Amino acid sequence: MMPRHLAAICALIASLLCGVPVSVSADSVIELPVLGAIRQNNLGVFEILMMWWDRKPEPNPVQLQWLLAGVRLGNDHLGAMAQAFAYAVERTPSVQHSGTVSVQGVAYRPTGSDGPSAGAAMAVGFIAMFKGEHIQRGVALTGTIEPDGQIGPVGSIPDKIRAAAREGYRTVLVPREQIHDERWNLNELGFQLNVTVKEVDTIDEAYQLMTGQRI
């Protein structure tokens, strides 16, 4: 993994807190759509991860905390968050990485999800946060994050597209070579739901489509 940040990564999941900081500027909050699937149905799950950074000089190096609220994440999901966070730090070397980054999940009703399939999206969100850029509304991403910045394959993509469509999202980014699969045809599903499905190879490619900017 990334030796320089190994100690920080080990502490990333340690802070499981309730509540939110009192003063957070809306302009400084990243609202990241996260798509999931549950076994009970084929409708998928839609969550928003809110990310913000206090930019304080301490602690140094920067720390990550997950704020318990309406969305509960399993260990695999938290592990993917830690990996995405470390990757974002590596990709923004000109930034002074200190202070605390907070992440909180928001959903219409209490939900829980697990698995690494939001790793790529979280990497995009953290990089945008560090760079002071924003995620464009209407675009969502599903895919794991690999150490080299490649976006890895995931399952249950049709359910995730259905969840995105319900929330008015019109573009869903998926890992390369997953539009056509023996289990599904995402172009056909996208046509039915009025959703454009695009394949992406890397975090860089996804970042440009989700923010309109280059890393």
Domain-wise residue ranges, the chain = 3-211
SS in 3 state form for 167-187? Answer: CCCCEEEEECCCCEECCEEHH
Please give the single-letter amino acid code of residue 137: R
Please give the single-letter amino acid code of residue 185: N
Nearest to 160 by CA among 136, 195, 135: 195
- Reported as a single tens digit per residue, the pLDDT across 103-116 is 988 765 545 454 68
CA 197 from chain centre, in angstroms, equals 18
Question: In this structure, which long-range contacts are made by residues 131-137, counting pairs with CB atoms below 8 Å and at least 24 apart in sequence?
Answer: 131/92, 131/95, 131/213, 131/215, 133/211, 133/213, 134/30, 134/211, 135/30, 135/31, 135/32, 135/33, 135/210, 135/211, 136/210, 136/211, 136/212
Say which DSSP state 136 is in.
P
Least confident residue range of 31-45, 100-114, 171-185, 189-203: 100-114
- Reported as a single tens digit per residue, the pLDDT across 49-85 is 999 999 999 999 999 998 866 566 667 878 899 999 9
Is the Cβ–Cβ distance between 150 and 175 less than 8 Å?
A: no
The CATH class, in words, for 3-211 is alpha beta
DSSP-derived 3-state class of residue 189: helix
Provide the whole-model pTM.
Answer: 0.86
Is the Cβ–Cβ distance between 15 and 63 less than 8 Å?
A: yes
Please give the single-letter amino acid code of residue 71: V
Is the Cβ–Cβ distance between 126 and 9 less than 8 Å?
A: no
Separation CA 145–CA 81 (nearest Å): 10
The pLDDT value given to residue 42? 78
Terminal-residue alpha carbon distance, the chain: 21
